[in-house]
Amino acid sequence: MPFYQYLARHPETGHDFSQAMLDYARLIAAAVVAGYDFAGVRRVVDIGCSHGRLLSAILHANPTVSGVLFDRPEIIERAGERIRGTELAERAELVAGDFFESLPAGGDLYILSRILMDYDDDASVRLLQNCRRAMAPNGRVLIVQLLMPEQGERGAREQLFEAAVSDLNMLVLTGGRERTEGEYRTLLGRAGFKLSRVVPTNALVSLIEGERVAP
């Protein structure tokens, strides 16, 4: 059966998986806040936000930024328990939905943190196109993802183990994949973006920014 359906039917395993992802989310949140310049960003949409750890870290570090947590209804309900009653509640909107259908409109920055690895190229392009349709005219998308090294790339041997293990896990569990920088450039181009920069971090992931290209 599909991976997430299995977790839903086996709550103890689902809890262990969720806890592991929460621990990793702390590392990613710190890496994003340290590695990405949020100057000029007013509204962030965190897609597939899980526990809301990333958006919370961004809002704490950037007091003038507001944000939207967007995920499935059951995930938003859990994330809301962490946000409501905190000092971030007035700046964090919680929205439930299906990101393959539509996304909250008007964001300056749409974040896909470890989302695209779950999907094949066509589904990933469809999600990126939804981001493009929803965002402000000068909006950007930020893909937070482990990068597969390019063949023959300097340092590729050091990067390859983690990347290859994750790529194999995605193949077995979700039918998705990890990708190289060149492959993300192609996906972004198909969806109406240009890859503007890639920022490595100390949390295994890189920050892959795509700028919206005018039609």
CATH of the domain at 34: 3.40.50.150
Q: For residues 167 and 148, give the distance between their C-alpha atoms in angstroms, rounded to a whole number.
A: 8
Rounded CA gap, 188 and 129, in Å? 9
Structural contact between residues 188 and 121, judged by C-beta atoms closer than 8 angstroms: no
What is the predicted pLDDT for the residue at 158?
63
Residue that the structure tokens 């709550």 belong to: 11
CA–CA gap between residue 187 and residue 181 (Å, rounded): 10
CA distance 198 to 180: 11
pLDDT score recorded for residue 152 = 66
pLDDT value at residue 141? 98
> What does the pLDDT profile of the chain (215 residues) look like in tens digits?
888 788 889 989 988 887 887 788 888 999 999 999 999 999 999 998 777 889 999 999 999 999 999 998 888 887 877 787 788 888 999 999 999 999 999 999 999 999 999 899 999 999 999 999 999 999 999 999 999 887 766 656 666 777 788 888 878 888 788 899 999 999 999 999 999 999 999 888 999 999 999 87
Predicted local distance difference test score (pLDDT) of residue 45: 97
The range of the structural domain enclosing residue 200 comes to: 3-212
Residue closest to 70 by CA, chosen among 101, 49, 42: 49
Position 15 scores a pLDDT of: 83
β-sheet bridge partners, residue 67: 44, 92
Task: At 63, give phi and psi (nearest 5°).
Answer: -60, -20
User: Given this model, what pLDDT does residue 102 score?
Assistant: 94
Residue 5: enclosing H or E segment and its boundaries? helix 3-9
Q: What's the pTM?
A: 0.89
- Predicted local distance difference test score (pLDDT) of residue 82: 78
Domain count, the chain: 1
Written as six digits, the tokens of 41 are 């960003």
